[in-house]
């Protein structure tokens, strides 16, 4: 664990080499992906994975996503059936996580999968995460780089604010483009809505929203994405001393997308929640966001924030 404030390094070859060296020593590094910043460690090393759980204060029964460079690397850790191969071919690299049967010879630390017979795998598109995967040459376990129960980070400053001295090194490559966590699919079930929408998935496979019964995941707990202040949803105007996060025609103190674009709104969502938390107002209200497409992921995260 670091004794002082995290070192924030702008993305370049030197920074990636430093981060890879930390990973090789069994350390943890915060690194951006196209969804949110992740807290990465070598997925094969139990002590390294334990450091992720300790730094986040995350209950150890909640499994982590493993990041790899391509479908071939995914195939060394998990079994991809025909459905999984079609989804991978269409959406990897990108913000889609597949829950797949774990291979017996995968060599992952047990805590990564929390003892399940399945593993969540994602092939990220972001240059910083891909550079770190290339330089370290190992599969990287990485949950979102926030303390357990905090809002997910879409900027290096969010990581530093939430993790403080519990993360020694942050690779900074600006704001995350998608802004909400990856879509998680198990079989033909969407476990977590995200940037790869149900509509996009349906062009490849018939998929339906759902939940697993046996994984009590942090992303599936009502308060996982909660700001510190009470949140009221579907607000068309400010009530008293609220900080109003607007959308479209509902202007507010802040606006997710004045143009009413759900993709822009997703990219700004966690940033807006961070700003609302930091404001001088004691309550937060959020304007309604339409349900379709990316709206499914936004409304999912907003319901948790208000839950």
Query: Does residue 283 sit in helix, strand or coil?
Result: strand
- What are the C-alpha distances in Å from 174 to residues 6, 60, 157, 177, 185? 16, 30, 10, 9, 28
- What are the C-alpha distances in Å from 20 to residues 41, 132, 233, 249, 265? 10, 6, 42, 46, 33
What residues numbered 46-65 form the site for ligand TXA, per CB under 6 A?
62-65
Decide: is 144 part of the binding site for Mg ion (CB under 5 A): yes
CB of 188 to ligand TXA, least distance (A): 14
Place of tokens 């309550």: 283
Q: Which two tokens stand for residue 42?
A: 């070598």
CB of 240 to Mg ion, least distance (A): 32
Decide: is 136 part of the binding site for Mg ion (CB under 5 A): no
Which of these segments, 29-37, 131-139, 262-270, 295-303, binds ligand TXA (CB under 6 A)? 29-37
Decide: is 182 part of the binding site for Mg ion (CB under 5 A): no
Q: What is the DSSP string of 41-83?
A: EETT-HHHHHHHHHHHT--TTS--EEE-SSHHHHHTTB---HH
Contacting ligand TXA (CB under 6 A), which of 44, 51, 122, 158? Answer: 122
CB of 144 to Mg ion, least distance (A): 3
Q: What is the DSSP letter of 262?
A: H
Decide: is 219 part of the binding site for ligand TXA (CB under 6 A): yes
Decide: is 197 part of the binding site for Mg ion (CB under 5 A): no
- Kind of pairing between the strands at 169-172 and 140-141: unpaired
Binder of residue 183, out of ligand TXA, Mg ion, none (CB less than 5 to 8 A by kind): none
Residues near ligand TXA (CB under 6 A): 33, 35-36, 38, 62-65, 97, 99, 113, 116, 118-120, 122, 142-144, 181-182, 184, 191, 212, 215, 217-220
């Amino acid at each position: 664990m670091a004794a002082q404030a995290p070192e924030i390094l702008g993305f370049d070859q030197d920074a990636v080499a430093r981060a890879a060296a930390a990973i090789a020593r069994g350390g943890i590094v915060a690194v951006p992906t196209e969804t949110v910043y992740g807290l990465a460690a070598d997925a094969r090393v139990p002590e390294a994975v334990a450091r992720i759980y300790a730094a986040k204060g995350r209950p150890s029964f909640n499994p982590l996503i493993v990041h790899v460079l391509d479908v071939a690397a995914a195939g060394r850790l998990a079994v991809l059936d025909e459905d999984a191969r079609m989804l991978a071919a269409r959406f990897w690299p990108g913000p889609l996580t597949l829950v797949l049967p774990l291979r017996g010879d995968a060599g992952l630390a047990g805590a990564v999968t929390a003892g399940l017979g399945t593993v969540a795998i994602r092939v990220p598109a972001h240059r910083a995460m891909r550079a770190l995967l290339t330089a370290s040459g190992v599969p990287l376990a990485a949950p979102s780089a926030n303390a357990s129960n905090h809002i997910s980070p879409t900027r290096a400053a969010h990581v530093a604010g939430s993790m403080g001295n519990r993360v020694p090194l942050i690779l900074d490559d600006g704001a995350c483009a998608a802004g909400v966590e990856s879509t998680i699919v198990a079989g033909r079930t969407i476990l977590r809505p995200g940037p790869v929408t149900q509509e996009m998935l349906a062009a490849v496979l018939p998929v339906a929203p759902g939940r697993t019964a046996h994984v009590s995941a942090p992303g599936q707990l009502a308060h996982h994405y909660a700001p510190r202040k009470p949140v009221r949803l579907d607000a068309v105007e400010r009530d008293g001393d609220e900080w109003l996060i607007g959308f479209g025609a509902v202007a507010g103190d802040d606006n997710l997308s004045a143009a009413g674009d759900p993709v822009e709104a997703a990219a700004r969502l966690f940033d807006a929640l961070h700003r609302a938390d930091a404001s001088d107002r004691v309550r937060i209200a959020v304007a309604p966001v339409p349900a379709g497409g990316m709206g499914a992921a936004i409304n999912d995260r907003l319901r948790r924030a208000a839950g």
